[in-house]
Chains A and B, each alone.
Chain A
Amino acid sequence: MSDQLFSKWASESRQVRKNIIKMIHYAASGHPGGSLSMVEILFSLMAEGGVMRHSPVTPSHPDRDRLILSKGHGVPALYALYHHCGYDITNEELMTLRALESRLQGHPDRVRIPYLEASTGSLGQGASFAQGVAMGYKLNGIDKRVYCIVGDGEMQEGQIWEAGLSSAHHKVNNLTIILDYNKAQIDGHIDEVLSLEPVKDKWLAFGFHLHEVDGHSYQQLTTALRDTHPTKPSMIIAHTIKGRGVPFMEGKVDWHGKAPNSNELELALNSIEENSTIGLQGGANG
């Protein structure tokens, strides 16, 4: 069953990756690296058969699982996923990314598109926001989860650690933070700029229920996402590759915030077509 599902996702994710690259190309600006690194994370959460309970028919249902993209610059991937899931973002609208008056702002705007849940783009704030939503759910007796994706560069912000300390203390067990550990930020690799290591020990010490997975493996991601704890919030350290799926972008710091030109677009689209096993075989083991 899950093998079939994962094969389906692997094949569908190619169109999503193509859309991400196209959107950024047409916008002539945006962030391909950190969008591509979280495609498998987003599929595992949002796609049909994924972990989250949500529906394009009732996007503001009070009883929905919510996803907060703290690393807001990765939003092209989120737009592409919402489109894939049948939300009211059409293919044409996807290509209006970053254009004047478009709902598809360069960073998430929850007023223009309420199911984005939070307006982000200034790094470090999403985990606190997610903590608050999760606390509200508990008060309201709603048995749903709040997921929050943070970047590894972003995790250098102190506020992320405040959210960690606080969520564990307040037993916000319906919160899952996912670290897109793609090892790169803008000025270089995480370990050169400001290392997070030993990141796993830190979050364990903070009192989180923790999983460390290959962030391009559907098998590992969905298993970890489903394994929650009765009292502790969850942290999933997802080892990923920045620019995953487009070989010339993979692991390249320079592709953090640069749009592909026409030649690069074509090259990227072709290589995405060839790469059909991402998600099934993973690829990032730390």
Chain B
Amino acid sequence: MGKIATRKSFGQALAELGEIYPDIVCFDADLSKSTMSSLFANQFPDRFFEMGIQEANMIGAAAGISFTGKIPFICSFGAFLTGRFDQIRMSVGYSQANVKLVGTHCGVGIGEDGHSQMGLEDVALMRTIPKMTVLQPSGDRECRQMVEWAVKHQGPVYLRLTRQGLKEFDLPPFQLAIFPQLREGEKIAFLANGGLLESAYEAANRLSEMGIVNPAVYNLHTTKPLDGTFLTELAEKYKEFVVFEDHSTIGGSGAAIAEWMAEYAPIPRRVYRYGVKDQFGESGRPEDLYQKHGFTPEGIVTFFNKNS
């Protein structure tokens, strides 16, 4: 199976779910061909609202329509959507509006467009909002399951999607906050999401072949909420964790795991945050940027060679 971008999986899934759930409506802010909400728009023109370049207004309107029984999905690049933080904080969060926020083009993996278009702090922002669910699918099937989960779930959801295609792993059905395991290992666990899952998985295989470490690998698809029972099990199994994400290390999934481990793990556990280290994004080919940030399997292997 070729690589599929999760934004495409999202668009297809929403268009299919639109048949089953007549209350689904969709909004976009002049990026429907990029977020792939156009697939829903083609199918259900009456339930699709092209808002123009007005993210703040779109968020407010979606909050409002959710209180008429509709289930709004609102789509833009993650950077522009979560950039309207106060609108999300108040109209969606504090109002407990049943709005599904879909942020695409997340991470340095978008490449040439550069910093202004990259969602690099979106997870950090969204997870500070009480009752917000923060999800990032690792591939096509999981993305479709998450979209359906979001439709059924009552409450705000942030779905973080990629521009680039992702490798499809053989995964169990999506279960909130229970990270599927991709690889057995000992002492150390890699938790990774989005574009970094494939790199972390590859690196784990190579590192164990090289006899350096033998990491278990998990797909960190839920950053919020976290499941205490599940994480306690992980903390009992492994001494160290490395969280890989195409996002700022500040406030992201790595930070969420580190916070949990520091506060609740039965025995203190070390957590390394592997991501974009307190710096701005920039232009470049996606593969060049992945290399620069150490996001390739080689980069990860090199990091462990140096630090073990």
Task: Give chain A's interface residues, CB within 8 Å of chain B.
Answer: 27-30, 72, 98-102, 104-107, 109, 119-124, 153-154, 156-158, 185-188, 193-194
Contact B114 A158 (CB under 8 A): no
Contact B113 A186 (CB under 8 A): no
Distance (whole angstroms) from the CB of A158 to the closest CB of chain B: 6
Q: Is the CB of B270 closer than 8 A to any CB of chain A?
A: no
Contact B114 A106 (CB under 8 A): yes
A106-B283, A157-B54 known; 10 other A-B pairs, CB under 8 Å? A29-B111, A29-B113, A105-B114, A105-B115, A106-B114, A109-B282, A122-B83, A153-B52, A156-B53, A194-B50
Write out the residue numbers on chain A whose beta carbons fall within 8 Å of the beta carbon of B56: 158
Of the candidates A30, A72, A106, A153, which one forms a contact with B53 in the assembled complex, judged by CB atoms under 8 Å apart? Answer: A153
Of the candidates A28, A109, A156, A185, which one forms a contact with B114 in the assembled complex, judged by CB atoms under 8 Å apart? Answer: A109
Contact B112 A106 (CB under 8 A): yes
The CA-CA distance from A99 to B287 in the complex, in Å, is: 11
30 residue pairs A–B, Cβ–Cβ below 8 Å: A27-B112, A98-B114, A98-B283, A100-B283, A100-B284, A100-B285, A102-B283, A106-B113, A109-B282, A120-B116, A121-B114, A121-B116, A121-B117, A122-B80, A122-B83, A122-B117, A153-B30, A156-B53, A156-B54, A158-B54, A158-B56, A185-B52, A185-B53, A187-B30, A188-B50, A193-B50, A193-B52, A194-B50, A194-B52, A194-B53
The CA-CA distance from A106 to B105 in the complex, in Å, is: 15
Q: Is the CB of B302 closer than 8 A to any CB of chain A?
A: no
Which chain B residue shows the least CB distance to A253? B33
Write out the residue numbers on chain A whose beta carbons fall within 8 Å of the beta carbon of B282: 100-101, 105, 109
The CA-CA distance from A98 to B289 in the complex, in Å, is: 12
Q: With A98-B283, A101-B284, A107-B114 as known contacts, state yes or no: A194 contacts B289, CB within 8 Å.
A: no
Q: Is the CB of B31 closer than 8 A to any CB of chain A?
A: yes
Closest 10 CB pairs of A and B: A121-B116, A194-B52, A100-B284, A106-B114, A156-B52, A98-B112, A100-B288, A29-B112, A106-B283, A98-B283
The CA-CA distance from A104 to B112 in the complex, in Å, is: 11
Number of chain B residues close to chain A: CB under 8 A: 30
Q: Is the CB of B237 closer than 8 A to any CB of chain A?
A: no
The CA-CA distance from A241 to B80 in the complex, in Å, is: 27
Q: Is the CB of B97 closer than 8 A to any CB of chain A?
A: no
The CA-CA distance from A106 to B116 in the complex, in Å, is: 9
Which chain B residue shows the least CB distance to A153? B53
Q: Is the CB of B51 closer than 8 A to any CB of chain A?
A: yes
Write out the residue numbers on chain A whose beta carbons fall within 8 Å of the beta carbon of B32: 187
Of the candidates B31, B57, B111, B285, which one forms a contact with A187 in the assembled complex, judged by CB atoms under 8 Å apart? Answer: B31
Distance (whole angstroms) from the CB of B113 to the closest CB of chain A: 5
Q: Is the CB of B28 closer than 8 A to any CB of chain A?
A: yes
Contact B116 A119 (CB under 8 A): yes
Write out the residue numbers on chain A whose beta carbons fall within 8 Å of the beta carbon of B57: 158
Write out the residue numbers on chain A whose beta carbons fall within 8 Å of the beta carbon of B31: 186-187
The CA-CA distance from A153 to B112 in the complex, in Å, is: 22
Q: Is the CB of B242 closer than 8 A to any CB of chain A?
A: no
The CA-CA distance from A157 to B283 in the complex, in Å, is: 25
The CA-CA distance from A194 to B284 in the complex, in Å, is: 33
Q: With A100-B284, A122-B80, A187-B30 as known contacts, state yes or no: A107 contacts B53, CB within 8 Å.
A: no
Write out the residue numbers on chain B whose beta carbons fall within 8 Å of the beta carbon of A109: 114-115, 282
Within 8 A of A (CB), among B1-49: 28, 30-34
Distance (whole angstroms) from the CB of B5 to the closest CB of chain A: 16
Q: Is the CB of B153 closer than 8 A to any CB of chain A?
A: no
